[in-house]
Structure formats: C-alpha cells, structure tokens
Chains A and B, each alone.
Chain A
Amino acid sequence: MAKIHVTATVNGDEVEFLCELEETLLDVLRDELHLTGSKEGCASGDCGACSVMLDGRLVCACLVLGVEMEGRSVETIEAMAAGDELHPLQQKFLEHAALQCGICTPGILVAAKALLEKKPDPTETEVRFWLAGNLCRCTGYDKIIRAVLDAAAEMRVS
C-alpha cells in the first residue's frame, strides 16, 4: 500500500512525513519523528498519556490519524519548556514530587497546560474533572492536583 505524503507543523517546525492509512498521529510522532515524549498507554483514548495540542485543542494523539495532519499544527510535551526555562507546571511537578514513574507525566502536563490556558483559576474539582482522562497509577493524584493548583496560582501572579 502506498504511503501518504503529509506536511504538518510540529512544535513550530514544518515537517513532512510519509504515513500509512492506519497509522495514528501518535505512531507518526513516535515512530517517524522520534518524538517519544508522548506515550502510548492504551491506544484507545482512555489513558491520556499521548495528550497533545492539535490546532490549539487538547486531543489524544492515538485517536487522530496521521493522514489527518495535512496542513495542521501539533504541539507536544517536547515544546513545553522555553529553552532552559521550564514551564511553571513542569517546575511545580518537580517541587511537589507529583510524579513517580513518570510515564503519565507528559500527558498530564500537556492536559494541565490546556486547562490553565482556558481557566487560569480552576478549583480542585475542576482540575480533577479536567484530568479525569489522564490515568496515573502511582500517585493517587494528590500531589498532581496540588502541583497544578500551585502552578496556576503562580502563573496568575506573574
């Protein structure tokens, strides 16, 4: 089967790739572009480990086909820090020990950033429901929620 040629913007850069019809955006990111920060935990949109921003909207990369990417723009965890400067969410996750194994962390950070862009002052309940699509098996979510709330508070000040 012939592969499809796709041109898309990934983390601000124009990239071209060839992809099979059945390949997902997550397959393309990981296997073609070797951007492995987005993780596959389920490939069915249930765990959120592959959360990315697609044209400014939070999606699971495993639920988007690679061929749908033509002309579109995706942002992944790899673009979250600005040079040496970690995003406040990344910094707060470190300070709060909001990760143990760290496999869910990229997806949760991308999802949390999307939340704070929509809603700079979320309640604990809002954070919990927003992140309900991001599974974490290690932490019990406590420190994750605290880190997000703390980052939100800091971002409001600055």
Chain B
Amino acid sequence: MPRVFLSGNLKKLAGGAEEIDVEAADIRQLLRVLGERFPDMRPHLEQGIAVAVDGEIYQDGWLEPIAPDSEVHLLPRLGGG
C-alpha cells in the first residue's frame, strides 16, 4: 500500500500521524480517502495542495497514478513570482 507522509498542519489534522498507509491508485482516490478518514483535513485538501509521488510534485494532477510501493508527500500548494 502507498505510504503517505504528512507534516505540519496536515500532520496535526491526522491526529499527529507522520506516516500513514492509504489504499489509492491515483491522486484523486488518495484525496478522497484522506478526506473520509480525516474530515477536518477536507478544507485543506479542497483548497488545493501539492502531492509529491515518488519525488514528482503534482498540482491538481488528479489522474496521476500512485503505485502500491509509492512514497507520497503532501505539500502546500506551490506558486511563484
């Protein structure tokens, strides 16, 4: 199962868990499952966050696949000047 790493405020919203397993085959599923498991996290997930799958950072990349052995990091949305 993909391992999802949380830090900062998302970690708090997940009850302090730094690392959780989430059954998900793509980013859309991952966000859905996280929202179900941690309802308080939903506004953050909906506002837009970046998802790094095996080091590759995706923004709004719902359809990007997640492999069973993937390492997933949730990050704040990125922008720039």
Asked if A and B form a direct contact in the complex, defined as CB atoms under 8 angstroms apart, the reply is no
